Structure 1
Amino acid sequence: MSFIKAAETQHRAQPEGRDLTALATAAAVAGGSLEPRRHLRELQQLSGQLAGYDAVIPPLPALPSTMLPGHLNGVPVMVKDNIDVAGAPTTAGTPALANNIAERNAPLIDRLTRAGAVITGKNVMHELALGATSDNPVHGFPKNPWDPGRICGGSSGGTAAAVALGLAPVGIGTDTGGSVRMPAALCGLFGFRPSPGRYPDGGILSLTPTRDTAGPMTRTLQDLLLVDSVLASRPAVSAHIDQSVRIGISPCHRVDLHPDVAEKYRQVQAALAANGARFVDVDIDSIVKDAAEIATVILWGEAADGLEHYLRTHNGPTLQELVQTIASVDVRQLLVAGLSSVDRAEYQAALQTRQRLREELQRRLDAFNVKALMFPTVPVVAPLAEQSEWMELNGKVVPTFPTLIRHSDLGGILGLPGISVPVGTGTLSHLPVGMEFSSLSGTDNDLLALVAAIEPGIAQVTPPSKIPMS
């Protein structure tokens, strides 16, 4: 299959400063043309200049005395504030954990730093990762670099903003129902949710281990593949595609889309079809519907145990003390209503339904020899900040949170890998649109290889210095 090359070549040129990719940074450091400490200090200064975007939690950490050589030599990495970084607070955006200083790195942070990466900041997140706006009364409301009056998405919104702004080429978030992929799409980035278990767990405040996983956000797919290889401790995946690749599309993913999203969906299909990809109708609407009915059952069936495990192993407050001091009204209401709302039998039944749906999804994809599904990561472009609860879509007022996760939540419920690819900005809104590719659990390498092969013909990435920030 012959896929078209990206129209713009400026992103392959050697950028400078905030536009440097992880690959370019590591290569320049290894070649001696970039002094890492100077580069990191310049990015810290930039972080101070862009403090009004509320992406990074101050103060910034001190630079390490030594940097290890490796694939990520000297590469700055931003980290969501529910992931442990030794010596830094892990607050998960909630007051009860304000003084929760991590004694050791989460295992995935160790893998990054052993490869030479430098953790340069923690990012603002939706409190306890329970929301899609990242509006946080403790640390701020991350502003979308494309329009400061709009949200970045959540719950990893601050991480997405930081990477889009150029404060680091790599960000690590966590994803329950879209919390990496959705902010990546709304901010014009690549975002990868791996299958659970691909990366080491531990050292992360998680409400639902069945659904939660860490994942990277980057400005290039090459950087994402590099970071994935480090986190997964395996060779980097390279582009590969079957000559008769078949990509599935489903009815539920093409209805009630923002006009800009609908336009990009058509354009991406046309570009890939023109170069040999075959799109196949695979109706998974019933699977999406049934999965949505068990989403919160799994969450609340695990939330109390997940929170208590983290609090206990970190000598933190009790769960009751944490809930009493929650700063976000929406999060407090969710926790008070959700904790202890699911009994053991209901939870076990949900897990059985989940397994049945995973098997049914595999049967339907196998029946059409489909390797991956494609759909808009988010049905809308970034909503305005004041639309955090309700928004207008195609002449109707709809709830913001379920609209934002309408497409991405299936991957979180069933444990599917998914990659959001930035495909440019809409003609009406001039805001980023993301297209997700998702496949069966455990097929991460095949999915990454497929996206690596087709990405040059569809991805449109704007470097930080070119984003028209107001």
Structure 2
Amino acid sequence: MTLPFLAKVAWTNANFGGIQNIQSLEQYNYNLHPVVTPLIADGTEAPRLPITPELFPRQPEELAGRFYSSADYHVLYKSGKLTPLQVVKALIPLISRDQGGKYVSAWSETRVESVLAAAKASTERYHQGKPLGLLDGIPMGVKEDTAVEGYTCYYGQRPEPSDAAFEPATKSLWPIAQMEATGAIVIGTLAMHELGSDVTGCNPRRGSPKNWYNTSYYTGGSSSGAGSALSAGLIPIAIGTDAGGSIRIPSTFCGMYGLKPTLHRTYTMKSSICVIGPLAATAADLAIAYRSMTAPNPDDAIQSAFAPSVPPSPSAKKTLGICREWVSRASPVVRKSTEQAITYFAEKLNYDVVDIQIPYLQEGQWAHGAWALAEALDHLKNRLKGQYSSLNHCNKMLVEISSCTTAADMFKYSQLRALLMEHLAFLFKKYPGLLIVTPTVPEAGWKVHPGDEAYGVVDSNLTLRMMMYVWLANSTGCPAVSAPVGYDEPEQGEGKLPIGIMAMGEWGAEEQLLSWAAEAEGYLNDAVEGGRLRPKEWADIVGLANEVDAESS
């Protein structure tokens, strides 16, 4: 590690110490872990929400910009017109390094033999008329920081040959195991920004995944491979992680749907800000994945204590909260798309729109940024035993910057977290069912510049700007969902840039957010001029699978 003076300058420039003089924080206790666990009122176990085809119907065939969904695959499999094995055999050449796959940049690792074995087993279940459910045979991917049996968690790094810190997982993490138990096929692990330390997805060590809407712009990060694979049409569902927008930012940049659940809702991680959650090509698949991965884990006392999230009653009052000062900081085109969507929700879907205030937005973001780096440093020390030689230069500097945060700073950050959580609780009580709506990110895309792939890119000011809206849900543990609501013309490259809108709800309000995302999908499909767009290089997996010889498969 080098240049501690420069690291301290960068830490100060980022204003990570900027909340030390907020005197009003003294009245708040430390809140080192923003755990809010919605419990069942009478203490009895509530039934799990079903995942059946009638609840998730297929979208109309003639819909503009249509992406394949789990329901599409399920219908084809049940009818015998297609098999999971045909789909897998169509996918493997597209993502294989050995075969020069066009879409390989999204993927970290694929264990072909195990994927084929899972596809054969699924195909046989359909032949026998005994599929495990709607997700049986559905291809999916998992971000490479999340354990999948037989795969190695590289965290976006390129390990040295002698590096013993990277070994294949002996079992899948609970949320992934639940997806696999439904018959979903993990096609492989998905690439990510090195260490998940920024929001571009640029990875000079391993190669950066492509944003197929416009390859001259980044996918967003750190779940960059997930955004890339989804935008290409390769898979309908991906699993990512989100400590500072890492599910929602790539979802936005790549025109997809992404859910950041309540802290510890899917799995109790060693983090006070990070969660595991789904990204998907459709709002329905986002809900299916969420319901599948949140079965109670008997070995996880916190996760298993959660009451199931419940969809809102059709008669429930619907309210959107808008912090005008916050939303106004977005670029004109993003602000316009957000305001048009809010108008649609108010006029067509009977939402009340109320103005709200949220204090210390700038200071809260500073605190979250420093907290995220401090957690990352602790995780990295444990994993790499202090050996950072394999990291790219940008991450070496970020590790050095994170070491500037003191215990006293962390306590102040936690007091500000307590203040924000108390304020949000006040708003949620005042407006039952409130969803706080903002853009997901304030800009339509992040440009790729010459030299990025060789040296990496770090622009702290732009990073903090891109995280302007997402950080609050991480800092307070609230759930939030992102949905595409429009497109912007690019300044470089070919292909329009997706624009996303985000809603943040009360702790445990995932199903309410998923219902809202489905309404946002209706807005994009029916009210936005031209409807949803598909990338020019979108892969027609069903068409390609139909070319695979069913008999030989």
Specify the TM-score bucket, using the shorter chain as the normaliser: 0.7 to 0.9
- CA-CA distance at 1:304 after TM superposition: 4.1
Q: TM-score, normalised by structure 1?
A: 0.84
Cα pair 2:223 2:246 within 8 Å, conserved: yes
Shift in Å at residue 241 of structure 1?
4.5
Report if the CA contact (8 A) 2:485-2:523 is conserved. no
**Any conservation in 1 of the 2:199–2:220 contact (CA below 8 Å)?**
yes
Gaps of 5+ in 2: 1-56, 123-131, 297-307, 526-530, 541-553
1:108-257 to 2 correspondences below 5 Å: 108-201=175-268, 209-233=271-295, 240-242=313-315, 244-257=317-330
Match of 1:44 in 2: 92
Matched, 1:415 2:488: no
CA RMSD of aligned residues (A): 3.0
How far residue 95 of structure 1 moved from its aligned partner, in angstroms, is: 2.9
User: C-alpha offsets along residues 86-120 of structure 1, whole Å, 9 cap, x if unaligned?
Assistant: 11221111134684322221221111101111111
Separation in 2, partners of 1:14, 1:42: 24
Identity value in percent: 24
Aligned to 2:335: 262
Secondary structure class of the residue paired with 1:279: strand
Alignment partner of 1:26 is 2:93: no
Deviation at 1:426, TM superposition (A): 2.5
SS at structure 2 position matched to 1:419: strand
- Higher radius of gyration, 1 or 2: 2
Partners in 1 of 2:253 and 2:212 — Cα distance?
Answer: 10
Distance 1:33 1:331 in 2: 48
Contact 1:43 1:167 in 2 (8 A): yes
Alpha-carbon deviation of 1:255? 2.0
Q: Is the 8 A contact 1:55 1:162 kept in 2?
A: yes
Conserved in 2, the CA contact under 8 Å of 1:188 and 1:434?
yes
Q: 1:128 to 1:226 in 2, by over 3 A?
A: same
Alignment counterpart, residue 112 of structure 2, candidates 36, 55, 61: 61
Q: Does 1:444 align with 2:510?
A: yes
CA shift at 1:186, angstroms? 0.7
Matched, 1:337 2:401: yes
| 8 Å CA contact retained: 1:132, 1:401 | yes
Aligned to 1:5: none
* Aligned counterparts of 2:332 and 2:149: Cα–Cα separation in 1: 45
Q: Match for residue 501 of structure 2?
A: 435
Aligned-partner residue type, residue 426 of structure 1: D
Instruction: Find the residue that maps to 1:432 and give its secondary structure.
Output: strand
Letter of the 2:174 counterpart: P
CA separation in 1, counterparts of 2:61 and 2:197? 39
Give ranges in structure 1 of 5+ residues lacking alignment: 1-8, 203-207, 312-316, 392-397
Partner of 1:456: 522
Task: Find the aligned partners of 2:264 and 2:166 in 1 and give their Cα distance.
Answer: 29
Per the TM alignment, residue 410 of structure 1 is displaced from its structure 2 partner at its CA by 1.2
The answer to whether the 8 Å contact 2:364/2:417 transfers is yes
What residue identity is the alignment partner of 2:483?
V
Q: Deviations over 1:175-208 (max 9, x none)?
A: 1111110110111000110011110246xxxxx6
Query: Are residues 245 and 401 of structure 1, via their aligned partners in 2, closer, same or farther at CA, if it must alter by over 3 Å?
Result: same
Separation of aligned partners in 2, 1:177 and 1:366: 26
Q: What residue number does 2:436 align with?
A: 373
The alignment status of 1:291 with 2:291, answered yes or no, reads no
1:371-415: CA deviations, max 9, x gaps? 101111011111211297689xxxxxx932112111111111111
User: Which amino acid counterpart does residue 288 of structure 2 have in structure 1?
Assistant: L
TM-fit CA distance, 1:123 = 1.7
Query: Which residue does the alignment assign to 2:158?
Result: 95
Contact 2:320–2:353 (CA under 8 A) maintained in structure 1: yes
The 1:181–1:241 alpha-carbon spacing in structure 2 relative to 1, beyond 3 Å, is: farther
| Paired AA for residue 21 in structure 1 | S
- Give the SS at the match of 2:146: coil
Distance 1:239 1:72, change over 3 A: farther
Distance of 1:50 and 1:461 partners within structure 2: 27
The answer on whether the counterparts of 2:213 and 2:534 sit within 8 Å (CA) in structure 1 is no
Give the 3-state SS of the residue equivalent to 1:119 in structure 2.
strand
Deviation at 1:299, TM superposition (A): 2.5
Q: Which moved more, 1:117-126 or 1:253-262?
A: 253-262
Q: Is the 8 A contact 1:155 1:179 kept in 2?
A: yes
Distance 2:367 2:211 in 1: 31
Normalised by the size of structure 2, how large is the TM-score? 0.72
Asked if the contact 2:194/2:203 (under 8 Å) is kept, the reply is yes
Q: Shift of the alpha carbon at 1:449?
A: 3.2
